[in-house]
Amino acid sequence: MPSLSEVYRAHPVHVQHKHPDLNSLQELPESYTWTTTQPQDQTNNNNLNHTVPVIDLNHPNASNLIGHACRTWGVYQVLNHGVPITLLHDIQRLGETLFSLPSHHKHRAARSPDGVDGYGLARISSFFPKLMWSEGFTIVGSPLHRFRQLWPQDCHKYCDIVMQYDETMKKLAEKLMWLMLESLGITEEEDLKWAGAKGQFKKTCAALQLNSYPTCPDPDRAMGLAAHTDSTLLTILYQNNISGLQVHRKGTGWVTVAPVPGGLVINVGDLLHILSNGLYPSVLHRVLVNRVKQRLSVAYLCGPPPNVEICPHENLVGPNQPRLYKSVTWNEYLGMKAKHFNKALSTVRVCGGMNEEMD
């Protein structure tokens, strides 16, 4: 079975590799200027009831609350998730240290043209004519080689933090997957064979994406990360205490995901959308930037083993619930995403046109 790195490598996207040091720019260059004059691009500040659900994982009814959030938002925040706050602070400090290195130093660990790991612009940049006001660092597997390029002395110390973060997130992802499946009525290990013995999701694959959004001289015309859905089963996102993440909700528009201290944001990804036969829609999200504070986020992008067929679960398909999606492996889906980007989900729909998913 191919590794996740090999899978990404098989579906390259062409991202510009040289970019200016954003911290050194006093004005927003034309190449970074986005025009967000469309009414549907504006943030909905009108209704305070429109807030992303925050769920205590110790709540006896957590699974149902999660199910409701997935159906109505495709995103929720969790508290009492069991990830030590010290570990969240450690990964945040690692990100801060990494992104505050001088530009030429960060470029020592630059992503190669057909590679996935290392320092560079967001992979989705290739789909937009304008550049995004952010920089990223992607980790797939061990970051040792990359960290040696950045920190010859301290690479093991930073590696340990990433490994611990990865292990802890894997456990949380497993727990969340079962809570979400349970809320769909999928409760037996037998019901999802690829999850493995005892349904432990031991073979899930993941990438870690560190994102930095430096302060911006003209935030209203810039874009930190353009609107996209994640090509995952689920994404676990840690954001430092700075707002910027927004999710799109039908009928409401763009809603800011206010940071909750110690909380984690959980996005439904495209593969869970498919697995749930569209009951849990993957959430469209974007990141805006600000003038005064650098924002940092760490996304744990979790998917199935790359060659496992993901299809709408049989419990969710019947005479009154037609099957809406074809089977697809994560590997194949990443290929579709690299080609069709936000239309990828429509291309695996059984019936219906390309425009059904995005409106």
Ligand X SMILES: O=C(O)CCC(=O)C(=O)O
Residues serving a catalytic function are 295
Residue 320: closest CA among 279, 359, 348, 273: 279
Give the list of residues 6+ apart from residue 139 with CB closer than 8 angstroms, or none.
117, 146, 162, 207, 208, 209, 210
**Cβ closer to Fe ion: 230 or 270?**
230
Taking the complex as a whole, the smallest distance from the CB of residue 209 to Fe ion amounts, in Å, to 8
Pick the stretch among 52-60, 237-245, 247-255, 342-350 that binds ligand X (CB under 6 A).
237-245
Q: Binding of Fe ion at residue 270 (CB under 5 A)? A: no
**Cβ closer to Fe ion: 117 or 230?**
230
**Cβ closer to ligand X: 199 or 303?**
303
Taking the CB of residue 79, how many other CB atoms lie within 10 A of it?
A: 15
**Cβ closer to ligand X: 63 or 239?**
239
Taking the complex as a whole, the smallest distance from the CB of residue 235 to Fe ion amounts, in Å, to 6
Rg (CA), the chain: 20
CB–CB of 101/150 below 8 Å? yes
In whole angstroms, give the CA distance from residue 295 to residue 241: 8
Please state the φ and ψ torsions of residue 124, each to the nearest 5 degrees: -75, -5
Residue nearest to ligand X (CB): 297
Q: DSSP secondary structure string, 207-237? A: EEEEEEE---SSGGG--SEEEE--SSSEEEE
**Cβ closer to ligand X: 74 or 199?**
74
**Residues numbered 267-326 forming contacts with ligand X, rule: CB under 6 A:** 285, 287, 297, 299
Q: Binding of Fe ion at residue 230 (CB under 5 A)? A: yes
Q: Binding of ligand X at residue 225 (CB under 6 A)? A: yes
Pick the stretch among 120-128, 230-238, 246-254, 324-332 that binds Fe ion (CB under 5 A).
230-238
For the record, the structure tokens of 145 come out as: 């080689």
Q: Which of 138, 183, 204, 211 binds ligand X (CB under 6 A)?
A: 211
**Residues numbered 57-116 forming contacts with ligand X, rule: CB under 6 A:** none
According to DSSP, the β-strands at 285-287 and 245-249 are antiparallel
Q: What is the DSSP letter of 111?
A: P
Q: Work out what residue 211 binds among Fe ion, ligand X, none; the CB cut-off runs from 5 to 8 Å by kind.
A: ligand X
Q: Which of 135, 230, 270, 357 binds ligand X (CB under 6 A)?
A: 230
CB–CB of 155/247 below 8 Å? no
Q: Which of 63, 77, 204, 239 binds ligand X (CB under 6 A)?
A: 239
Give the number of residues written for the chain: 359
Which positions lie near Fe ion, rule CB under 5 A?
A: 230
Which positions lie near ligand X, rule CB under 6 A?
A: 209, 211, 225, 230, 237, 239, 245, 285, 287, 297, 299
